[in-house]
Chain A
Amino acid sequence: MRQNWWKILGVALLLYTLIAGLLMDVPRLPILNETIRALHFHVTMWFGMILLLIVSVYYSVKFLRTNDLNYDDLAVEFANIAIVFGVLGIATGMLWAQFAWGDYWSGDPKQNAAAIGILMYFAYLILRNSLIDNHQRARIGAIYNIFAFAAFIPLIFVLPRLTDSLHPGNGGNPGFNAYDLDSKLRMVFYPAIIGWTLFGAWIATLRVRSRRINREMEDHFLNS
């Protein structure tokens, strides 16, 4: 129970997000209207993805320092879940953009940056699968993971600021920036970020455990 409190917290927060995010009153803004509820399900995907990627990079650094494969398990599984969040973020974003901007893909800088980020992490998975030896795979995967993250951060934070984005809050569009982010929205938005991230972390730890069991079984099989 002491180790599981955060899983319960995560599920409770997600239930709260689902109920409050879909049923609560939202401020009426031009163009956005009810689609502002995407804030709790789309924007939170990106926050969750970045947080999970930070965890993944942290474990990659730890792996390079210690050469302990257990850290590599954590790094790759957190990256996997982050990729799932990223794909979901793109999908929900495209769906939302179809209604708010009238097109699934409008060449918005944030949209493009997100797509490039996804390409980067797909490349990471392909790189890992092209290596056979466990230790080498872990080491080179960790190196590329850190390198890609270092290139991804300027991409997602600097580039969109250079040109006007269609996203709410940019370039004079109405949006959820500091003035518009209603305190009622905030009451769901922040818990939603925490909830999704905890949920992602839970899936990651489950997959880490199955990965470790598989490796144990392989070793056992090889030694017997």
Chain B
Amino acid sequence: MLKQISVLIRKELTLEWRQKFALNGILLYVVSAVFITYLSFGARSGALSIPTWNSLYWIIILFSAVNAVAKSFVQEHQGRQLYYYMIASPEAIILSKIIYNTGLTLILALLGYGVFSMILGNPVQDHGLFLLNLILGAMGFSASLTMVSGIASKAGNNATLMAILSFPVIIPILLMAIRISKNALDGLDWSVSGDKLLSLLAINAIVGATAYILFPYLWRS
């Protein structure tokens, strides 16, 4: 199982590396989205209030993550999927995709963070908490979005479907992440965010476990 997962993750990495345009495209997406918000606010660095900074940041990460993960089941065509179906267990496939997408979302989030701090200012006071929250948020985003992209790919994979299916499912994760991130921005003590971190972890676990249990049924059809 572990071996299967590691081989599959390596496969994803190789694929991504060979089709660099997809990765570069999504990276450029983040940068231009941040730049558009910057221009539309007509903002000089530091002119945004902290709650606005926070919600803008997470909304941009959400949209980039949806776009980045949406392709996880369509970039390979039917024939190759059938081949994976025969050689790997569905559990290994969903876990490898979730782990890979967590990394991808994390890279997007860090890039977004970098660009944000460069042009819109960096009000974060507690970097450790902010990063921990990013990691947890990326895990949750990737678990739910990977599963939803699997569902959407079975239904003709149009972008609208991906969006309407994933947004309501992702809202609990997004809200928790935004709230913890607000605490990190304000530099509040960790004890304030402790129970929120736990609930975020619990929601991640629920979503991940459900995806793990349900994916085999989706894969078989």
Flag if A162 contacts B179 (CB, 8 Å): yes
Say whether A120 contacts B218, CB under 8 Å: no
Q: Is the CB of A151 within 8 A of B175?
A: no
A136-B221, A159-B172 are known contacts. Are A144 and B156 too (CB-CB below 8 A)?
Answer: no
A178 CB–B CB distance under 8 Å: no
Please, how many angstroms separate the alpha-carbon atoms of A64 and B219 in the complex?
A: 12
B217 touches A147 (CB 8 A): no
Q: Cβ of A119 < 8 Å from any Cβ of B?
A: yes
Chain B residues closer than 8 Å to A162, beta-carbon distance: 179, 196, 199
Q: Within the assembled complex, what's the spacing in Å between the Cα atoms of A126 and B161? A: 8
| Cβ-defined contact, A148 with B169, below 8 A | yes
Determine if A55 is an interface residue (Cβ-Cβ < 8 Å).
Answer: no
- Contact present for A127 and B221 (CB under 8 Å): no
**A119 touching B172 in the complex, CB below 8 Å, given contacts A127-B161, A143-B218, A147-B147:** no
A residues 117-145 with Cβ under 8 Å of B?
117, 119-120, 122-123, 126-127, 130-131, 135-136, 139-140, 142-144
CA distance A158 to B199 in the complex (A): 8
Determine if A116 is an interface residue (Cβ-Cβ < 8 Å): yes
Give the docked Cα–Cα distance between A139 and B216 (Å).
12
Whether a CB of chain B sits under 8 angstroms from the CB of A155 is yes
Q: Is the CB of A130 within 8 A of B151?
A: no
Task: Decide: A119 and B217 in contact? CB cutoff 8 A.
Answer: no
Nearest CB of chain B from residue A118's CB, rounded to whole Å: 9
Number of residues in A with C-beta < 8 Å to the partner?
A: 29
The answer to whether A136 and B154 touch (CB under 8 A), given A127-B161, A158-B199, is yes
Which of A123, A126, A136, A151 makes the CB contact (< 8 A) with B206?
A151
Q: Does B28 count as interface, using CB distance less than 8 angstroms? A: no
Q: Note all chain B residues with C-beta closer than 8 A to A147.
A: 147-148, 151, 169, 210-211, 214
Q: How far is the CA of A148 from the CA of B151 in the complex (A)?
A: 12
List chain B residues, Cβ under 8 A from A32.
none
> 1/0 per position for B140-159, CB-CB distance to A under 8 A?
00001001100100111010
How many Å lie between the Cα of A151 and that of B208 in the bound state?
A: 10
Residue A146 lies at the interface, judged by CB distance under 8 Å to chain B: yes
Indicate if the CB atoms of B169 and A151 lie closer than 8 Å. yes
- With both beta carbons as reference points, the residue of chain B lying nearest to A123 in the complex is identified as B164
Give complex CA distance A120, B156 in Å.
19
Q: Is the CB of A146 within 8 A of B156?
A: no
Query: Does the CB pair A159–B175 fall under 8 Å?
Result: yes
Q: Is the CB of B199 within 8 A of A140?
A: no
Q: Mark B171-190 against chain A: 1 for CB-CB distance below 8 A, else 0.
A: 11001100100000000000
The yes or no answer to B79 lying at the interface (CB within 8 A) is no
Is A151's CB under 8 angstroms from B155's CB? no
Report if A130-B161 is in contact (Cβ < 8 Å); known contacts: A139-B221, A162-B199. Answer: yes
Interface positions of A from 37 to 66, Cβ below 8 Å from B: 64
Q: Is A150 an interface residue (CB 8 A)?
A: yes
Interface residue? A107 (CB, 8 A): no
Closest A residue, CB atoms, query B150: A143
- Can you list 5 A-B contacts with CB-CB less than 8 angstroms, sorted by A residue number? A119-B164, A120-B169, A126-B164, A148-B169, A151-B144
